[in-house]
Amino acid sequence: MGIIDFLFRRKPIKVYTHLDEDRLKDNELIRALQQQNMAKDSQLSKIFAKEKEKKDKIKEKDKESEINKKLLEQKADLDANKHGKVIKLHKFYYDLLVKEKWKKKPLEIVDKNDEVVLANFGDFGIMTGGKLCIMDDKGELMAYGKNLSHVLYKPDAFENMVRRGRFTIPMDKDGNWMEDMEYKELPEPLDAEYDQETGKVVRIVWSKIKTSEVKKIIADKMEQIHYLSEELERSDNVIIKLTKLIKK
């Protein structure tokens, strides 16, 4: 290296800066704010997680409520099939007494074949001893008995009677009692003979009743049993499907 190169070679330049205390404070403030933001982000994440959990629980409850609603509806259908249709009287009496629906043309009581008007309808009642009755508009008894089939002919058609404004009772046009065999009840056995050794019944003594009547009642009961068995099978299938939905 020549002397010229030695004299004119570049030397590293060192720069000395003054530390600004205000700038340092600003940096510390920024770091503190960043830490606060991180803490807030963490809190928000926890809040969002809890809110999501609540929403999921609400959705699950809504799902359960919907399933319970379907189960209750299914139960109502099962009860309806089990106990049969329930006829409610409050609407009938509301139309009769409040709306005076039959004021111009009164309700009528007619014979079982709906051929002859026997009287104008007055009211239904409960007699001493628990018997039911139907009365005319003067309070006279037109028909009575221990169940509704003794008061109305084909009581299952009550709503249709109300629509037509005519109540059929189990009597012919001449006022003779005509019991509906569909609702006839079998009598209780009068007596029974037992085996002295085993104590089992060997013979039952029944009251007199026509064989044809018994056969008809048995046939009707068998038809009802067949219908209810089919309904029960369908209901069981629905319950199995709903149970699978609940477990999902």
Extract the tokens encoding 84. Answer: 């049969």
Same domain, 221 and 150: no
Give the residue numbers spanning the domain of 208: 191-247
Same domain, 111 and 151: yes
Task: Give the pLDDT score at 116.
Answer: 92
Q: How far apart are CA 152 and CA 167, in angstroms?
A: 7
**Residue 40 in domain:** no
Read off the pLDDT of residues 21-34 as tens digits, 9 standing for 90 and up.
556 556 676 676 67
Task: Give the pLDDT score at 16.
Answer: 47
Same domain, 169 and 207: no
pLDDT at 120 exceeding the cut of 90: yes
pTM, rounded to two decimals? 0.44
Same domain, 80 and 97: no
Task: Give the pLDDT score at 82.
Answer: 59
pLDDT, mean of residues 77-102: 79
Same domain, 77 and 98: no
Same domain, 95 and 82: no
The band of 241, judged by pLDDT with boundaries at 50, 70 and 90, is confident
pLDDT, mean of residues 186-206: 61
Q: List own/partner pairs for 36-39 with CB under 8 A and 24 or more apart.
A: none
Domains in the chain: how many in total? 3
Lowest mean pLDDT of 4-18, 105-119, 127-141, 176-190, name the range: 4-18
Q: How far apart are CA 129 and CA 52, in angstroms?
A: 64
Task: Give the pLDDT score at 36.
Answer: 73
Same domain, 195 and 167: no
pLDDT at 20 exceeding the cut of 90: no
Same domain, 96 and 158: yes
